[in-house]
Structure 1
């Protein structure tokens, strides 16, 4: 009985303590509240700052003495002590300077500090930041700090993540002082010397983003010691020499971006089961492609690769993007040995090479991701989106989201000949198709009328003959069309989108006639009873044609807007969009130019339409 009473008392005491402690308010220290308010008063709110944020808002506007500071936006306190341990003022529209005597530095218990995406007016990073002895995460990126990074940062012995994106300089001999347990170092720090050899000492480093940091010289072999590294982004520097072979075999490396440097030499085979993004574009790499590449995203454009088409890439079941543009690749594309080729591919860019021979139908036969549209989403359906949403990091998630909306084929400026395979009309999810500047012959396949998502179709600079298929008039999203410099003849199709194209879309085809290059094509337009010539003026029109015209034009515009907003979302949310944006923006350039002219063409059309019909 006594034993039971003791247990009951222990239980009741525990419950009383739990309930009472759970109801205790955060007891912030008055001097911390005062320090935060003083820090707030040294800054102003400027809505023109934080423009890179998706939803910026002034968090400090909620700070006042009527509420405990632990309930303020951006402030987190320790539940037991009441100390302010986290301060997140990112995207807060803050403007001003942070001097060494700022009351911010009185918050001695801070563990996480995020001041990113504000405007601190070219303030230098104060040495006082080095006194936050408990700090594990420090983010000062994109906040207009400048000058030299103080060596006092190396005093932060618990620091795990350091983000310093901005116009900053780091002295080489100070780098060794940076901490052994650092797991994240973020970009746009200006290194005035060669790539620091001591970078390899950061054995806990998981993410290294140093794009556009004025890095020079070769990549030190010591980077091959970073066995925990997952992301390595070193693009837009002046790095040269060969890429250390050990980099490709790092056991945890998932994303490798070394584009826009001066790397040279040949590829070597490597063994990696973790790499799923490789971007080595815009270097001077030579030789053959190693068949050990098994990643999801591959950009090797603008190098000096001299090889035939790497047909074995088609067997990679998860390859999403393949860009081999502007190399010295040559010969025919042979695919007969590969079954189910490129099943998940969404972007293929082989332009500006010397590929030759016929376009094999088998290349396009199994492009499942380009053949399926989800009607409920109004966008191409990506197979396996649940897996990527759940399993890939934020950067790759953002990229995959854009892939849901975007597919493209660019085979331009090669030496392809023969007929265009009619099976390409089955690629109904393709947004951009560019087969220009080859030696393609025969007719334009009528199956192209099934390309219901296409916005840009460029077949110029070939030897195509016959008539333009009337089926193309049903492509309501088609904003850019170029059929110039072929041997086409007959009547130009009539339809809402075709009324928006100018004569340069058809130049160099002496056998073509009809609007907009001539007034007569041997047919008459059937007008609705309410569609009269007198009603066609610059101010208003009640014709059925005008309704259909605007429906088609707006549908085409809406599709492009969706793609554009997706690109912006990716750029803002990841901060690492450059290599993909270059591919997409390059292929969309003609669409954008065409849309800028559309409004003028629409106004002029009605005047010309009176004489035409």
Structure 2
């Protein structure tokens, strides 16, 4: 009996030892019980230390488990690093081909959005990640050609590459997209924006696109040629963005047409704006009934291009965003828009709509204006007349209202809600006074009521209740703006644009002098007297022409380091032109015409003004010769020194200015 007991104990001990051995063999770190592999931890530190700043990686410390670091994900069994999310990580500097990043061969997710890789190219080693499923390079400041090796990522399901047109230019070779779409058999989402694809042959590239594709976003890529119809027929395609093709600087010309038979699409997001793709609107609405977001600005429609065509949109009962700017439909705005209960954003600008904005139906209606969900209503740049209907003022969630550049008449009525963020009613024929409800919109940041016939006496102090106000334009109305009772310097903490041209102002609003955020001020065509006022050092653009100013240009104007435009024309300012204005490297427009300036134009004034585009000095008392330093103004387009006392030979040397178009 003891023999069998001993044997049993031996077998149990052996099983325990074998089990422990198996456990030990699967444990990645034999010494510190970390899940992370030491080699991968070292590679991560080496990778991150190759950049200038990395605030997101404070938790990345040697001797700790890298699987617990911010942005790092590990397989919970093997311990290998399979995910790296360094979006907004502050990485700055190029990504080199020998980067330790490429030793992390088990990576399945790599997200490098919102970093600055200094316009370096994407290294071809990006194709070495055999297990990669998600790759995102959104606003990461890469540039150059997208490497062909990226097509080796055969398991990829989500790819995002977003170029920066202003600085870092992305390009795609003629066959790269074709190889990508052939090999990405599991592809679900493809987003490639701001990439020069003008050399890509579209029909052959999309020949074998994965049927699992749900999102295709090729916005602003200079696509040329016919867009393949088979893409519209993909069975799972839900989002398609082809907007702004053509687009400068890529100069694409995207053509094609939507399917005309046997097309039933799950699309809920469609953007064909600024393309030449032919659209049969009635058939599209009957075939893609799931549409919720629709962008069709500046498009090519089959059939008559008038507002009657828009009535076909009634089938899109789930539509929440509709943007159909710049299509010149003409006619009246269809009333049915008010029956789209899910609609939150409606843009109808630039369509030559005439007549009035439709009134909300009163009879046999199950919906009142208070039930409309509109948050953005933009119908600018049309030919609309009559008054603004009352339902617009009753919208409970309205944030953005743009009815500018029409022929609307009548008063501005009281808004029922306090949700406005942006208001533009400029360039109409509105009259009466500004309603008190505007001063109660606590979130209002932009107000444009310029070029109307508003009247009465307006205390500027009323706007001081709007602490988020950034832009205020009241120019060219019939009211008198009073600033006499107002001296608080802190009540417009965010204001950067103030337009008070032709507002019957008799005194400069002196509270403006200490406003640190103010950048643009327009006080043209008023009755302001006295010396040219001191302005805040943040001022960049200052219009104060057509007033009754006198005295000289104050020396403080030489301290305006960001000055771009200075227009003090049509006043009675005298004295010599301060040569210190020549230190304003940013100066683009200098307009001093029709004043009483005398003496010579400072000869050394223009040596540094390489950005100067327009110089107006006419109708003064200037004498002497024309400064040869004007040769340095290589951007100069307009030079007007007429009606002075300049004594010189004809300035043939001005032929050195390549941009000069107007010479007086």
TM class, shorter-chain normalised? Answer: 0.5 to 0.7
Does residue 307 in structure 1 map to residue 456 in structure 2?
A: yes
Residue number among 504, 511, 515 corresponding to 1:367 in the alignment: 515
Aligned to 2:224: 95
- SS state of the match for residue 292, structure 1? helix
Shift of 1:284: 1.0
Shift of 1:183: 1.0
Shift of 1:59: 8.8
Does residue 179 in structure 1 map to residue 328 in structure 2?
A: no
Rounded to whole Å, the distance in 2 between the matches of 1:73 and 1:162 is: 19
* Structure-to-structure mapping, 1:127-146, within 5 angstroms: 127-128=260-261, 130-132=263-265, 134-146=266-278
- SS state of the match for residue 203, structure 1? coil
Aligned to 2:242: 115
* Structure (1 or 2) with the greater helix fraction: 1
Does residue 489 in structure 1 map to residue 598 in structure 2?
A: yes
Does residue 198 in structure 1 map to residue 348 in structure 2?
A: no
CA contact (8 A) 1:229 1:252 kept: yes
Q: Deviations over 1:385-429 (max 9, x none)?
A: xxxxxxxxxxxxxxxxxxxxxx3222112222222223x1xx222
Aligned to 1:461: 570
Rounded to whole Å, the distance in 2 between the matches of 1:485 and 1:214 is: 40
Shift of 1:444: 2.1
- SS state of the match for residue 208, structure 1? strand
Aligned to 2:296: 164
- SS state of the match for residue 313, structure 1? helix
* Structure-to-structure mapping, 1:193-342, within 5 angstroms: 193-222=331-360, 224=369, 227-293=372-438, 294=441, 295-311=444-460, 312-330=462-480, 332-336=482-486, 338=488, 340-342=490-492
Residue number among 143, 162, 183 corresponding to 1:67 in the alignment: 183
Shift of 1:278: 1.0
Rounded to whole Å, the distance in 2 between the matches of 1:498 and 1:462 is: 27
CA contact (8 A) 1:479 1:594 kept: no
Rounded to whole Å, the distance in 2 between the matches of 1:343 and 1:275 is: 19
Aligned to 2:521: 409
Shift of 1:494: 4.7
- SS state of the match for residue 472, structure 2? strand
Shift of 1:113: 2.1
Q: Deviations over 1:360-403 (max 9, x none)?
A: 322x1342203xxxxxxxxxxxxxxxxxxxxxxxxxxxxxxxxx
* Structure-to-structure mapping, 1:497-576, within 5 angstroms: 497=606, 505-510=616-621, 512-516=622-626
Rounded to whole Å, the distance in 2 between the matches of 1:179 and 1:84 is: 23
Rounded to whole Å, the distance in 1 between the matches of 2:276 and 2:617 is: 50
Rounded to whole Å, the distance in 2 between the matches of 1:280 and 1:466 is: 42
Query: For the structure 1 residues 84 and 482, does the alpha-carbon distance in structure 2 shift closer, same or farther, using more than 3 Å as the test?
Result: closer
Shift of 1:87: 2.7
Aligned to 2:497: 347
- SS state of the match for residue 177, structure 1? helix
Query: For the structure 1 residues 224 and 320, does the alpha-carbon distance in structure 2 shift closer, same or farther, using more than 3 Å as the test?
Result: same
CA contact (8 A) 2:522 2:542 kept: yes
Q: Which runs of 5+ in 2 are unaligned?
A: 1-75, 83-107, 109-129, 134-164, 193-209, 247-252, 361-367, 641-649, 658-664
Q: Deviations over 1:559-612 (max 9, x none)?
A: xxxxxxxxxxxxxxxxxxxxxxxxxxxxxxxx86469xxxx98954999xxxxx
Query: For the structure 1 residues 602 and 73, does the alpha-carbon distance in structure 2 shift closer, same or farther, using more than 3 Å as the test?
Result: farther
Shift of 1:206: 1.8
CA contact (8 A) 2:516 2:538 kept: no
Rounded to whole Å, the distance in 2 between the matches of 1:235 and 1:321 is: 18
CA contact (8 A) 1:62 1:73 kept: no
Aligned to 1:566: none
- SS state of the match for residue 63, structure 1? helix
Shift of 1:72: 9.2
Rounded to whole Å, the distance in 2 between the matches of 1:505 and 1:138 is: 49
Query: For the structure 1 residues 275 and 93, does the alpha-carbon distance in structure 2 shift closer, same or farther, using more than 3 Å as the test?
Result: same
Rounded to whole Å, the distance in 2 between the matches of 1:265 and 1:445 is: 44
Query: For the structure 1 residues 130 and 141, does the alpha-carbon distance in structure 2 shift closer, same or farther, using more than 3 Å as the test?
Result: farther
Q: Which runs of 5+ in 1 are unaligned?
A: 1-14, 27-49, 371-406, 518-535, 537-544, 558-590, 608-613
Shift of 1:83: 2.5
Aligned to 1:569: none
Q: Deviations over 1:103-159 (max 9, x none)?
A: 335422222222333367664544448511x22212222111346412442343322
Rounded to whole Å, the distance in 2 between the matches of 1:129 and 1:366 is: 67
- The number of residue pairs the alignment matches comes to 448
- SS state of the match for residue 573, structure 2? strand
Shift of 1:358: 2.2
Shift of 1:199: 0.5
Rounded to whole Å, the distance in 2 between the matches of 1:194 and 1:316 is: 36
Rounded to whole Å, the distance in 1 between the matches of 2:400 and 2:174 is: 34
Query: For the structure 1 residues 280 and 498, does the alpha-carbon distance in structure 2 shift closer, same or farther, using more than 3 Å as the test?
Result: farther
Query: For the structure 1 residues 456 and 309, does the alpha-carbon distance in structure 2 shift closer, same or farther, using more than 3 Å as the test?
Result: same
Rounded to whole Å, the distance in 2 between the matches of 1:66 and 1:138 is: 24
Aligned to 1:478: 587
Query: For the structure 1 residues 195 and 82, does the alpha-carbon distance in structure 2 shift closer, same or farther, using more than 3 Å as the test?
Result: closer
Query: For the structure 1 residues 289 and 469, does the alpha-carbon distance in structure 2 shift closer, same or farther, using more than 3 Å as the test?
Result: same
Shift of 1:470: 4.9
Rounded to whole Å, the distance in 2 between the matches of 1:207 and 1:58 is: 38
The structure number with the bigger radius of gyration is 2
- SS state of the match for residue 195, structure 1? coil
Q: Deviations over 1:75-104 (max 9, x none)?
A: 89xxxx9733233333344333468xx433
Aligned to 1:44: none
Query: For the structure 1 residues 602 and 149, does the alpha-carbon distance in structure 2 shift closer, same or farther, using more than 3 Å as the test?
Result: farther
The two structures have a TM-score, normalised by structure 2, of 0.59
Rounded to whole Å, the distance in 2 between the matches of 1:177 and 1:96 is: 32
Query: For the structure 1 residues 257 and 334, does the alpha-carbon distance in structure 2 shift closer, same or farther, using more than 3 Å as the test?
Result: same
* Structure-to-structure mapping, 1:21-36, within 5 angstroms: none
Query: For the structure 1 residues 179 and 319, does the alpha-carbon distance in structure 2 shift closer, same or farther, using more than 3 Å as the test?
Result: same
Aligned to 1:526: none
- SS state of the match for residue 524, structure 2? coil
Rounded to whole Å, the distance in 2 between the matches of 1:502 and 1:228 is: 47
Shift of 1:71: 4.6
Aligned to 1:6: none
Aligned to 1:377: none
